[in-house]
Structure 1
Amino acid sequence: MEYHYRNRELSWLQFNARVLQEAKDTTVPLIERLRFLGIFSNNLDEFFKVRYATIKRIVDAGKGGRGALGGISATELLEEITKTVIEHQATSLSILSDIEEELEKENIFIIDETQVTKSQETFISDYFLRKVSPALVTIMIGELEEFPSLKDSAAYLAIKMVMSKDDNTFGTKNNYALIEIPKIIDRFVVLPKEGDKQYIIILDDLIRYCLNNIFSIFKYDSISAHMIKITRDAELDIDSDLSKSFIDKISKSVKNRSAGDPVRFVYDKNIDNETLRFLMDKMGIDTTDSIIPGGRYHNRRDYMGFPSLGRNDLLYDKIAPLRIKGLSLEGSLLNKIANKDYLLYAPYQTFSYVVKFLREAALDPNVKSIKITIYRLAQISHIASSLINAAKNGKDVTVQIELQARFDEEANIKYAEQMQSEGVELIFGVSGLKVHCKACIVERLENEKIKRYAFVSTGNFNESTARIYTDYTLFTSNRKICKEINKVFDFFEVNYKIKKYNHLIVSPHYTRNALYNLIENEIKNHRAGKVSGIKLKLNSLSDFKMINKLYDASNAGVKIKLIIRGICCLIPGVKGMSENIEAISIIDKFLEHPRVYIFKNAGIDKVYISSADFMGRNLDNRVEISCPIYDEGIKKEIIDTFDISWNDNVKARIINKEQDNQYRVTNSNNRIRSQFKLYDYYQEKLNK
């Protein structure tokens, strides 16, 4: 089995290595490189909370796990993950050092507590007293019988004081404390400019500079501070108490997450052995936890918010999202959609069309109902406010909100309670299934009959992520598609009845077999001498049975092109197994997020946009929608955009059996950076 599949976790780590490549790439603007380091670190935090924690649970249960893990045992996998992460962390520290050198050439200096000048002392002391000191949580741990529970992914300074002989406060020569780095204060403190030079001090170092202020009541010969961080298992354990509402159960479970078992301990590699042993013993860190020696700073995810400093020359050029040809944001969208389907490809085109659709529906007196699925909302959501507006205007508004959208539970709970209080009817999904599909249906009274309008998407209805995630949204009034989207909402409310669909492909009941049949059709067409071929754009491909089906197609001679952003357990280009499969991954300015399925179908292309990756959870354990594209112009547009991405020879990496993240290099002098080329493609469409 190990020769047929790449392990999912190790494949994911190679995806994160591609993110790290962006931080290393000197053609990427300098501050953007720092932000890619932040993305790399944030990804890693979530990986340990979820995937590493899951593998650790397998080990703790005494299971081997080889069958599910692609031929490697769970114990071996934990060791391999830790080894790989240590290598990646070392690389990231080297990259950070290089970036800091380049920043200094741009007169931007990140200083530590030893480099504070006399002219900066007053500002730092004042800033500490006004903003930092009131927010600090400092725990004297040397004398505590029970070690305090450290917060998941919070960063702490571990303080060691070597006490003076004339200080009798403690019974030991060495005493220890923990300072929690406050999350409510910006990690990067911008100091006053000095001429052309801009100085920044990281909050950790500002606190180090003020240690004598914090511990002034003690007498010590020396004091040192080293950062530590613990990552906890993020699995939600849902309360089974039937007397509690679902919102209450999820709220309690999210709060309890902070007490999950530790799965990773990261420490400053320069910490002295005595302090390290003391901490690990007190925290109960054991050999199945991932113990990572790191640099001076943790929570480098904060680099995602590194200040711009007014240096637009060190950032990506901002693009103005384009309008959709033939679809104005003025006037009625619904009247336009009544006559023709339209496709939105964010962020190349403006997400405002989605908000406009809902705002119009909220105001139109002929609109009687709105139904929508919500997975992740923006912090300030115009989507939510439009739905509340519609309810206030007397519309029947039904929202299927997924309270278990990982790491967005609290935000979704907040909006759920707000919408519920304003008269929006909430549905909390189907027992045992996450609702991951992205769809909206509007019913409007026209000529004394109900006409339906819909949009269905590959991504979340989230204004913030729509600026940085690439996603398709189809606007349609196609009667057959709208009727079947409405069936999905019926299933949410009466889920013991399994609906039948002739157009949509819906998980969990139909997607796997439908995809098998579509792949099998390409095999039959190829054997019959007809046009065949498969093109897939996915975030992840990890389902072994689906991979086997693609191997079958390859062995039959069907050419398969895969664009996989993240996990790819399929091994392309292996003779006798996958020689007709090519795969690439694109990491660039925007996060590639759409799922697209294209089947040549004997020359009459079948094209779907979908919320579902080829993962077991998407195929069998979630509610997902794959929507067919019937409009020939939109079908061509999706194929065109896939081909532009496929031809990328700047930011495309080859996925191969070596997993070495080689950039694809072609002999052509024509450099194609697909994300930039796609913007040009849509500009040209507007000018035709």
Structure 2
Amino acid sequence: MAKQSVSLVNRETSWLEFNGRVLQEAADETTPLIERIKFLGIFSNNLDEFYRVRVATLNRMLDYNKRSGESLSFSPRKVLKEINRIDREQQKEFSGIFRNIVRKLAEEGILIVTEREITRPQGEFVRKYFNQYVRSQLFPIMLNNLKSSSLVDKSIYLAIRLSSSARPGKFQHAIIRVPSKPLPRFVLLPSPDERKFIILLDDVIRYCLDEIFSIFGYDTFKAYTFKFTRDAELDIDNDVSKSFLEIMSESLKQRRLGAPVRFIHDKTMPADLLDILKHKLEISETDTLSKSGRYHNFKDFMSFPDIGRSDLLYAPVPPLEHRRLPRQESILNVIRDQDILLHYPYQSFHYIIDLLREASIDPGVKAIKMTLYRVAKDSSVVNALINAARNGKSVTVFMELQARFDEEANIYWAGKMQEEGVKLIQGIPGFKVHSKLLLIRRKEGEKNVYYANVGTGNFNEETARVYADDSLLTADPQVTADVNAVFHLFESKYNPPKFKSLIVAPFHMRNFFTRMINSEIRNAKNGMEAWCIIKLNNLVDDKMVKKLYQAGKAGVKVRIICRGTCTLVPGIKGLSENIEVISIVDRFLEHSRVFVFHNGGDEKYYISSADWMVRNLDNRIEVACPVNDAGLRQELKTMLLIQLKDNTKARIVNHPDINPYKDAGKTPRIRSQQEIYNYLKGI
């Protein structure tokens, strides 16, 4: 484990260890077989984004260091070397897991076959499929004409060696993109029995290469897969004469021409062909060059085809009804009388859709305001907001155009909403709005009454089925007044108001959490009970880590549930022996941020959109919201304590052994996500 110091883990290697936990799920024999192959897809997709963003940033730092001669506080070259070492080890493990899963699938009568293994009737089917669906999507580029700018990021290509038996030793080369969008990556083949045969689109193309190239006199074809990954960081233009929508649109076009950061190729590719590709694609010595197997872009395995074997998938977990939100009753009326806490995906996100639908047609509702960061492909949230505007409501949306990899979708939805009369507050270059807020203003008698929703995750009905998040519905006047103040903040060019209830970054959040930890430190030094429970996705802010070390040294019991990157090292004698850090990686993606402080017996509970990273605390609009209802506090605490007792899917973070399971082998077995579902089902 590469460390910056004894007490801080490098954030990049920590992230790779998190992705290693995803790989553990693919290796876990207790995970249903098809879910295991989907975890390989998640691992691959995660790694792609890591290279496109984090490795690309390190490459930029390395280049800057060379050009400027300035010394950075760490060596990007050393970090890149360590990343490549870990990546090689994980890729070796990945390949072994994939081979094992393929064997297990075959034992279940599910065979992933190559173009060399199909029967004649299957071959006839493949040719028919190729000519009907695939051929029109293929646009070969002769290698002599290839330019780096011709290649599409996140795609896989076949480098094809063409030859003729009439001219032995004479070769030509071509490049074909495998069109896994818009086509599916997997094709189900006809079977003579009950077995299922699956061929990848790559091999469909391999089987039919003669359909494309034989007219040019070639009769021998050999195809080798490669994948080309670009720098995905955006360079934001500061031209004040352009709207931010225009600036973002132009920046996205530039992303398609980003510098190469990773080149993966079939290890059987001939050296001369590899050299030509490296030259044509401008692959330098600083770019990651990896040998791999026959198939790349395993992210497509996240969409493994439905083969009718539910026994090889997770058992269905139907969303639970919330006992305080009976169907066919006004949600607004319920919220007026009591706070409600929703927990996705255990409970349905459709309560939010129902709330928006009710607000869009309720004659008393006059205005709706909402922040949007990532929305679903066919967003019911956006459609509900558009419907509200059509019904004469004043609808205002802050659409964050800088949501990484969702920029194009957000630009599209921004345009749709503007067309329908929704007032759009556009993002600001260099400054992201990451808070998850909804505010409804309703005229009740002679006064305006406000209703708010503050959440830890996006207003996205698709991800809410797999992301574990918390969402507070409230009519508390202090909370709703502060939510309203946040929206005024957007509209008044960031003149920060004073907040009475919400903790808002970048104005107060860092100082607030520092004060809360300091309070626990004072209590511990005075011999009082002192503890905190911190749940987040990433803990990499050096100042907050050092403050937690200070708390641990003072005797504060610090328990942390951190799914992803964590630079803090627990269990160091004299520094962090009072700190426990676990990560839970399971069926659902742990996404909520929850903070609990003992506070001398007057326990304080907060849910938040913010991790403890510099970007969240100092460079984004983030919100932490107090949970004031005693019953809801107990609900949150019970769920956190269940997770802290997990001995099935919890791993110890930054242990000398990488990713050991916590309390492995102990009984009774506690799998927190299942236990939380059962708990919520019973309350």
The answer to whether the superposition gives a TM-score over 0.5 is yes
CA pair 560-148 structure 1, distance change in 2 beyond 3 A: closer
Q: CA–CA distance in 2 between the matches of 1:210 and 1:406?
A: 37
Matches within 5 A, 1:357-506: 357-506=355-504
1:498 counterpart letter in structure 2: P
Matches within 5 A, 1:159-198: 159-166=160-167, 173-182=170-179, 183-198=181-196
Matches within 5 A, 1:310-329: 310-329=308-327
Identity of aligned residues (%): 49
Counterpart in the other structure of 2:577: 579
SS in 2 for 1:602: helix
User: How far 1:222 moved relative to its partner?
Assistant: 3.4
SS in 2 for 1:61: helix
Q: CA–CA distance in 2 between the matches of 1:148 and 1:490?
A: 43
SS in 2 for 1:216: helix
User: How far 1:277 moved relative to its partner?
Assistant: 1.1
User: How far 1:146 moved relative to its partner?
Assistant: 4.9
Counterpart in the other structure of 2:49: 46
CA pair 614-448 structure 1, distance change in 2 beyond 3 A: same
Matches within 5 A, 1:542-581: 542-581=540-579
Unaligned runs of 5+ in 2: none
Q: CA–CA distance in 2 between the matches of 1:385 and 1:634?
A: 31
**Residue pair 1:86, 1:293 contacting (<8 A) in 2 also:** no
Counterpart in the other structure of 1:100: 102
User: How far 1:530 moved relative to its partner?
Assistant: 2.1
CA pair 317-595 structure 1, distance change in 2 beyond 3 A: same
Choose which of 55, 62, 65 in structure 2 pairs with 1:62. 65
Q: CA–CA distance in 1 between the matches of 2:324 and 2:494?
A: 42
CA pair 77-421 structure 1, distance change in 2 beyond 3 A: same
User: How far 1:325 moved relative to its partner?
Assistant: 1.8
Counterpart in the other structure of 1:113: 115
CA pair 265-431 structure 1, distance change in 2 beyond 3 A: closer
**Residue pair 1:508, 1:619 contacting (<8 A) in 2 also:** yes
SS in 2 for 1:275: helix
CA pair 316-441 structure 1, distance change in 2 beyond 3 A: same
CA pair 223-667 structure 1, distance change in 2 beyond 3 A: closer
Q: CA–CA distance in 2 between the matches of 1:547 and 1:277?
A: 46
User: How far 1:225 moved relative to its partner?
Assistant: 0.5
How many residues of Structure 1 are paired with residues of Structure 2 in the alignment?
Answer: 679
Range with bigger deviation, 188-197 or 591-600 = 188-197
Q: CA–CA distance in 2 between the matches of 1:595 and 1:550?
A: 17
Q: CA–CA distance in 2 between the matches of 1:95 and 1:62?
A: 39
CA pair 64-661 structure 1, distance change in 2 beyond 3 A: farther
2:151 counterpart letter in structure 1: L
SS in 1 for 2:356: helix
- After superposition, the C-alpha distances for 1:59-86 in whole angstroms (9 at most, x for unaligned) are 0001699x999x7510011111111111
Unaligned runs of 5+ in 1: none
- Asked whether 1:124 is paired with 2:121, we answer no
Counterpart in the other structure of 1:520: 518
Counterpart in the other structure of 1:672: 670
Counterpart in the other structure of 1:539: 537
CA pair 146-322 structure 1, distance change in 2 beyond 3 A: closer
**Residue pair 1:430, 1:495 contacting (<8 A) in 2 also:** no
Counterpart in the other structure of 1:91: 93
User: How far 1:192 moved relative to its partner?
Assistant: 1.6
CA pair 374-148 structure 1, distance change in 2 beyond 3 A: closer
1:149 counterpart letter in structure 2: S
- Asked whether 1:301 is paired with 2:299, we answer yes
**Residue pair 1:233, 1:261 contacting (<8 A) in 2 also:** yes
SS in 2 for 1:499: coil
SS in 1 for 2:439: strand
Q: CA–CA distance in 1 between the matches of 2:388 and 2:148?
A: 51
Please report the TM-score for the alignment, with normalisation by the length of structure 2. Answer: 0.97
Choose which of 591, 596, 600 in structure 2 pairs with 1:598. 596
User: How far 1:246 moved relative to its partner?
Assistant: 1.7
Q: CA–CA distance in 1 between the matches of 2:285 and 2:186?
A: 34
User: How far 1:502 moved relative to its partner?
Assistant: 2.2
Q: CA–CA distance in 1 between the matches of 2:147 and 2:466?
A: 45
- Calculate the aligned-residue CA RMSD, in Å: 1.8
SS in 2 for 1:174: strand
- Asked whether 1:157 is paired with 2:155, we answer no
Range with bigger deviation, 326-335 or 121-130 = 326-335
SS in 1 for 2:261: strand
Counterpart in the other structure of 2:31: 28
Q: CA–CA distance in 1 between the matches of 2:85 and 2:106?
A: 32
- Asked whether 1:73 is paired with 2:75, we answer yes
CA pair 209-269 structure 1, distance change in 2 beyond 3 A: same
Counterpart in the other structure of 2:18: 15
Counterpart in the other structure of 1:288: 286
CA pair 202-342 structure 1, distance change in 2 beyond 3 A: same
User: How far 1:164 moved relative to its partner?
Assistant: 4.5
- After superposition, the C-alpha distances for 1:110-153 in whole angstroms (9 at most, x for unaligned) are 000100101212211100000000011211113x2856531112
- After superposition, the C-alpha distances for 1:27-82 in whole angstroms (9 at most, x for unaligned) are 000110010000000000000010000011000001699x999x751001111111
User: How far 1:667 moved relative to its partner?
Assistant: 6.4
Choose which of 273, 276, 300 in structure 1 pairs with 2:274. 276
CA pair 666-270 structure 1, distance change in 2 beyond 3 A: closer
User: How far 1:431 moved relative to its partner?
Assistant: 4.6
**Residue pair 1:7, 1:72 contacting (<8 A) in 2 also:** no
2:408 counterpart letter in structure 1: E
- After superposition, the C-alpha distances for 1:503-526 in whole angstroms (9 at most, x for unaligned) are 111001111111100000100111
Q: CA–CA distance in 1 between the matches of 2:71 and 2:100?
A: 40
Range with bigger deviation, 654-663 or 133-142 = 654-663
Q: CA–CA distance in 2 between the matches of 1:672 and 1:303?
A: 29
SS in 2 for 1:157: strand
Range with bigger deviation, 640-649 or 172-181 = 172-181
Q: CA–CA distance in 2 between the matches of 1:635 and 1:146?
A: 58
SS in 1 for 2:295: coil
SS in 1 for 2:314: coil
User: How far 1:105 moved relative to its partner?
Assistant: 0.8
**Residue pair 2:146, 2:280 contacting (<8 A) in 1 also:** no
Please report the TM-score for the alignment, with normalisation by the length of structure 1. Answer: 0.96
Counterpart in the other structure of 1:661: 659
- After superposition, the C-alpha distances for 1:341-389 in whole angstroms (9 at most, x for unaligned) are 0000000011111111111111111111110000000011111011011
User: How far 1:239 moved relative to its partner?
Assistant: 2.9
**Residue pair 1:2, 1:72 contacting (<8 A) in 2 also:** no
